[in-house]
Amino acid sequence: MEFSLFAFYAFAAVVLFAGIRVITSRNPVHAALYLVLAFFTTGCIWMLMHAEFLAIAIVLVYVGAVMVLFLFVVMMLDINLDRVREGFWQYLPVGLVVGLLMVAEMVVVLNGTYFKLDAAPPPGVPAASFSNTQELARELFTNYVYPFELASLILTLAMVAAVALTLRRRANTARYMKPDEQIAVKAADRMRIVKMQTEKDE
């Protein structure tokens, strides 16, 4: 057995174990830490597939930013675990149905012979000078530059809207937004010209 194949099976086993522990852990902090392990191990699998950019992206974005935020939120909030666990058995049938559908979809996608489809040829080993990040950037900023820019504008708009929604009136000392006053403002209200007499040094 080659080392890459052995590493893939080892990483896949770790991902499965971490994923199961995410949904079975009673402590939300432990579940978040197991999710960090699942993300990091997925990045290792992508490294084996020569997808360096995706591996670094999942480590920096999900492990380094999103999961750290989740951990801070979970640790700072006073979560009543007993109340959260009350609805577990109530939503279990729906969760099982969704899980079975996801498993069936993955089986259909990974096993192309189910629909008598020709399997795609395995990708060859890239050359030593091949850069996965450079090829991805070339595709994004040439063939898909307009969808890429549109997605960035939509995400920026969503971020600004989220910030504006959080700045609503809560108390007299809290900061909040008044969209109606911002829209009705005029140019004369934004700038005032003051005429002052000149002073001469004695």
Domains and CATH numbers, the chain: 1-80 (1.20.120.1200), 132-177 (no CATH)
Strand, coil or helix: 74: helix
Q: What whole-number distance in Å separates Cα of residue 18 and Cα of residue 35? A: 7
Residue matched to tokens 């058995």: 89
Percent of the chain with pLDDT over 70: 74
Integer CA distances (angstroms), 135 to 39, 59, 132, in order:
24, 20, 5
Residue of 179 and 161 predicted with greater confidence: 161
Residue of 201 and 27 predicted with greater confidence: 27
pLDDT value of position 150: 94
pTM score, two decimals?
0.56
Q: What whole-number distance in Å separates Cα of residue 69 and Cα of residue 197? A: 55
CA dihedral (97, 101, 103, 108) in degrees, to 10, reads: 160
Please state which of the ranges 44-58, 96-110, 111-125 shows the lowest mean pLDDT.
111-125
Residue of 108 and 80 predicted with greater confidence: 108
Listed residue (173, 175, 155, 153) closest to 164, CA to CA: 175
Tens-digit pLDDT profile for residues 118-164:
555 556 666 667 777 788 888 888 899 999 899 999 999 988 887 77
* Stretch 161-182: mean pLDDT: 67
Tens-digit pLDDT profile for residues 45-64:
888 888 888 888 888 888 88
Q: What whole-number distance in Å separates Cα of residue 60 and Cα of residue 13? A: 23
Q: How many CB atoms lie within 10 A of CB 12?
A: 13
Residue 87 confidence class, pLDDT cut points 50, 70, 90: low
pLDDT value of position 153: 94
